Chains A and B, each alone.
Chain A
Amino acid sequence: MTSNWFKEMLLVSVQETNKVLKDSGLLLFFIIVPVLYPLLYAYLYNNENIREVPVVVVDECGSSLSREFLSKSDATPDIRIVAHCSDFEEAQEMIRNHMAYGIIYVPAEFSRELAYGRQATVNLYCDMSGLLYYKCIYSGCTHVSLEMNKEIKMSRMGGISQHEMNVNAMPVEYDYVTMYNPRSGFCTYLIPAILVLIIQQTLVLGITLLAGTEREERQKGINLVGEFDAHPLSVFGGKTICYVCFYTMVCVYSFWLLPKLFHLPQMWHPHDLIQLMIPMLLASIFFAMTISFFVRERESCFLLFMFMSVPLLFMSGISWPRSAMPGFWKAFSCLFPSTFGINGYVRMANMGATLHEVRRECIWLWAQAAFYASTTVLIYIRLYRSTHMPDFKYMSKAAIERFRKRIGR
Chain B
Amino acid sequence: MRIKESRAYAITRRELTRMIRRPVYLLCMICAPLFCFVFFTTLMGNGLPEDLPAGVVDCDNSSISRMVIRNLDAFQQTDLRYHYASFAEAREAMQSGKIYGFYYIPKGLSHDTQRFEQAKVSFYTNATYLVPASLLYQDMTKMSEYASAGVSRETLLAKGYTMDQAMGFLQPIQIDMRAVHNPMLNYSIYLSNTLLPGVLALIIMLVTVFSVHTELKDGTAGEWLDMADDNIYLAVFGKILPQTLVFMLMSMVYLVWLYGINSYPLNSGIWPMILASFLLVLALQGFALFICSAVPSLRWSLSLCTLWGVLSFPISGLSFPVMGMPPAIQALSNLFPLRQYYLIYVDQALNGLPLHYSAAPYLALVSFIVLPLVDVWLLKRTARQYVYLY
What are 23 sample pairs from A and B whose C-beta atoms fall under 8 A apart?
A: A41-B314, A44-B326, A44-B329, A46-B326, A96-B353, A114-B173, A119-B173, A121-B175, A130-B320, A148-B172, A178-B125, A178-B127, A188-B128, A302-B210, A303-B210, A304-B28, A306-B202, A306-B310, A317-B129, A319-B319, A320-B49, A347-B95, A357-B96
Q: Which residues of A contact B390 (CB under 8 A)?
A: 23-25, 213, 298
What CA separation (Å) do A5 and B218 show in the bound complex? 39
| B-contact 0/1 string along A112-131, CB 8 Å cutoff | 01101111111111111111
Which residue of chain B has the shortest Cβ distance to A308 in the bound complex?
A: B32
What CA separation (Å) do A315 and B198 show in the bound complex? 17
| B-contact 0/1 string along A185-216, CB 8 Å cutoff | 01011000000000000000000000001000
Q: Is B229 an interface residue (CB 8 A)?
A: no
Q: What are the 8 tightest A-B residue pairs by CB atom distance, in nearest-first order?
A: A324-B49, A181-B127, A174-B144, A50-B324, A178-B127, A353-B95, A118-B168, A128-B182
Stretch at the interface among B113-121, B220-228, B276-284, B376-384: B113-121
Contact A175 B210 (CB under 8 A): no
Nearest-Cβ distance from residue B89 to partner chain A, whole angstroms: 12
Which residue of chain A has the shortest Cβ distance to B201 in the bound complex?
A: A307
Contact B357 A97 (CB under 8 A): yes
Q: Which residues of B contact A131 (CB under 8 A)?
A: 185, 187, 190, 319
What CA separation (Å) do A404 and B268 show in the bound complex? 67
Nearest-Cβ distance from residue A148 to partner chain B, whole angstroms: 6
What CA separation (Å) do A310 and B314 show in the bound complex? 11
Q: Taking A119-B167, A184-B127 as contacts, is the C-beta distance between A326 and B140 under 8 angstroms?
A: no
Q: Is B341 an interface residue (CB 8 A)?
A: no
| B-contact 0/1 string along A294-313, CB 8 Å cutoff | 00111110111011011100
Contact B172 A119 (CB under 8 A): yes
Q: Which residues of A contact B46 (CB under 8 A)?
A: 324
- Tell me which residues from 283 to 333 in chain B have a Cβ below 8 Å from any Cβ of chain A: 298-299, 302-303, 306, 309-311, 313-315, 317-321, 323-326, 329
- Tell me which residues from 11 to 45 in chain B have a Cβ below 8 Å from any Cβ of chain A: 24, 27-28, 32-33, 35-36, 39-40, 42-45
Q: Taking A25-B390, A130-B319 as contacts, is the C-beta distance between A302 and B306 under 8 angstroms?
A: yes
What CA separation (Å) do A137 and B147 show in the bound complex? 23
Q: Is B141 an interface residue (CB 8 A)?
A: yes
Q: Is B274 an interface residue (CB 8 A)?
A: no
Contact A357 B95 (CB under 8 A): yes
Q: Is A133 an interface residue (CB 8 A)?
A: yes
Q: Which residues of A contact B138 (CB under 8 A)?
A: 138
Among B96, B182, B310, contact of A309 (Cβ-Cβ < 8 Å)? B310
Contact B174 A119 (CB under 8 A): yes
Residue of A97, A130, A142 contacting most chain B CB atoms (<10 Å): A130
Stretch at the interface among A149-157, A232-240, A282-290: A149-157
Q: Which residues of A contact B121 (CB under 8 A)?
A: 172-175
What CA separation (Å) do A142 and B173 show in the bound complex? 10
Among B33, B168, B174, B326, contact of A145 (Cβ-Cβ < 8 Å)? B174
Q: Taking A173-B120, A320-B187 as contacts, is the C-beta distance between A351 and B95 under 8 angstroms?
A: yes
Which residue of chain B has the shortest Cβ distance to A332 in the bound complex?
A: B39
| A-contact 0/1 string along B204-222, CB 8 Å cutoff | 0011001001100100000
Q: Which residues of B contact A297 (CB under 8 A)?
A: 24
Contact B326 A47 (CB under 8 A): yes
Q: Which residues of A contact B353 (CB under 8 A)?
A: 96
Nearest-Cβ distance from residue B281 to partner chain A, whole angstroms: 16
Contact B94 A179 (CB under 8 A): yes
What CA separation (Å) do A242 and B172 show in the bound complex? 68
What CA separation (Å) do A129 and B318 show in the bound complex? 7
What CA separation (Å) do A148 and B172 show in the bound complex? 8
Q: Is B100 an interface residue (CB 8 A)?
A: yes
Contact B299 A307 (CB under 8 A): no
Q: Which residues of B contact A133 (CB under 8 A)?
A: 321
Q: Is A38 an interface residue (CB 8 A)?
A: no
Q: Interface size class for chain B?
A: 35 or more
Which residue of chain B has the shortest Cβ distance to A175 in the bound complex?
A: B122
Q: Which residues of A contact B134 (CB under 8 A)?
A: 135, 184
Nearest-Cβ distance from residue B127 to partner chain A, whole angstroms: 4
Q: Which residues of B contact A69 (CB under 8 A)?
A: 173
| B-contact 0/1 string along A73-108, CB 8 Å cutoff | 000000000000000000000001100000000000
Which residue of chain B has the shortest Cβ distance to A354 in the bound complex?
A: B95
Nearest-Cβ distance from residue A217 to partner chain B, whole angstroms: 11
Q: Is A170 an interface residue (CB 8 A)?
A: yes
- Which residues on B are within 8 Å of A, measured CB to CB? 24, 27-28, 32-33, 35-36, 39-40, 42-46, 49-53, 68, 91-92, 94-97, 100, 109, 113, 116-134, 137-138, 140-141, 143-145, 147-148, 151-152, 164-165, 167-182, 185, 187, 190, 195, 198-199, 202-203, 206-207, 210, 213-214, 217, 298-299, 302-303, 306, 309-311, 313-315, 317-321, 323-326, 329, 346-347, 350-351, 353, 357, 390
Q: Taking A50-B323, A172-B147, A300-B210 as contacts, is the C-beta distance between A44 and B128 under 8 angstroms?
A: no
What CA separation (Å) do A49 and B134 show in the bound complex? 13
Among B94, B143, B152, B313, contact of A171 (Cβ-Cβ < 8 Å)? B152
Q: Interface size class for chain A?
A: 35 or more
Nearest-Cβ distance from residue B248 to partner chain A, whole angstroms: 18
Q: Is A323 an interface residue (CB 8 A)?
A: yes
Which residue of chain B has the shortest Cβ distance to A23 in the bound complex?
A: B390
Contact A24 B118 (CB under 8 A): no
Contact B320 A141 (CB under 8 A): no
What CA separation (Å) do A236 and B390 show in the bound complex? 24
Contact A171 B165 (CB under 8 A): no
Q: Is A318 an interface residue (CB 8 A)?
A: yes
Among B126, B151, B181, contact of A179 (Cβ-Cβ < 8 Å)? B126
Nearest-Cβ distance from residue B206 to partner chain A, whole angstroms: 5
Among B177, B306, B346, contact of A129 (Cβ-Cβ < 8 Å)? B346
Contact A310 B43 (CB under 8 A): no
Q: Taking A69-B173, A176-B137, A307-B199 as contacts, is the C-beta distance between A171 and B306 under 8 angstroms?
A: no
Nearest-Cβ distance from residue B332 to partner chain A, whole angstroms: 10
Contact B168 A113 (CB under 8 A): yes
Q: Which residues of B contact A121 (CB under 8 A)?
A: 173-176
Q: Is A331 an interface residue (CB 8 A)?
A: no
Q: Is A167 an interface residue (CB 8 A)?
A: yes
Q: Which residues of A contact B116 (CB under 8 A)?
A: 164, 167
What CA separation (Å) do A172 and B120 show in the bound complex? 6
Q: Which residues of A contact B49 (CB under 8 A)?
A: 320-321, 323-324
Which residue of chain B has the shortest Cβ distance to A344 in the bound complex?
A: B97
Q: Is A134 an interface residue (CB 8 A)?
A: yes
What CA separation (Å) do A175 and B167 show in the bound complex? 23
Q: Which residues of B contact A156 (CB under 8 A)?
A: 169
